[in-house]
Amino acid sequence: MRERRSNQHRRRTREFEAFVAGAGGRLLHAATLLTAEPPDDNPRARRLLTTALAETYARWHRLHGEDPYDRTRQELAARFARAAWRFHRPGVRGVSPGTTRHRPGVRPAAKLLKGAAFPGTTQRRAGGGLLARLTPQERLILVLRLYEGVAEEQTAALVGLPADRVRAICTRAIATMRSTPPTPPAGTAPGVAT
């Protein structure tokens, strides 16, 4: 019995390691886009991905045919939204998390991200990573829709917004990214948030 469990554990670990070897780079890039960090200096993205992968590993034996990449991407998006919400609402008493149809105790990402920012960032900061000019909500929707190729309806369900609202936010984010980046005020070093 003990040997059988040991063999199952080793097989599970090998399967998970193969998954991470194949999908880890893409998931790290998605996390880096979400946190708006530079690709060569992305500690928050690495922490975010590590916790999402740990959750996937903990549930590995219960996936039963579910795509581990999709599961990890959902966990990554939910953790990104929770991290943005926690920073935005520090010390608020009496705020209890709501529920969603899919995961009890997890608030829809749209409610979590409304006006949220990460530590050390402003709502739209200059410098930083590729998507630093976008709000967390815009980054989440843009990464899911364009980088990950998630359908509009699935993105809407994941973030808890109507599909037309997701479409409007995505369009606004694309317009922001296509516009000329803001010029930092005179005397400010490039890449420093104002």
pLDDT single digits (tens) 63-86: 888 999 999 999 999 999 888 765
Position 137 scores a pLDDT of 93
pLDDT digits (tens, 9 = 90+) for 92-138: 333 333 333 344 444 444 444 444 433 333 333 445 778 889 999 99
Contact 118, 135 (CB under 8 A): no
Position 83 scores a pLDDT of 81
Phi, psi (degrees; rounded to nearest 5) at 40: -90, -5
- Would the pLDDT of 185 be above 70? no
Phi, psi (degrees; rounded to nearest 5) at 161: -125, 160
* % of the chain surpassing 90 pLDDT: 54
Query: CA 100 to CA 105: how far, in whole Å?
Result: 7
Query: CA 134 to CA 110: how far, in whole Å?
Result: 15
Q: What is the pTM of this model?
A: 0.71
Name, of 44-48, 91-95, 181-185, the range with top average pLDDT: 44-48
Query: CA 146 to CA 142: how far, in whole Å?
Result: 6
Number of neighbours of residue 185 by Cβ within 10 angstroms = 8
In the Cβ-directed half-sphere of 137, how many Cα atoms lie within 13 Å? 23
Nearest to 50 by CA among 68, 69, 31, 37: 31
Position 86 scores a pLDDT of 58
> Domains in the chain and their CATH numbers?
2-88+106-178 (1.20.140.160)
Position 8 scores a pLDDT of 86
Which value, in Å, is the radius of gyration of the alpha carbons in the chain? 18
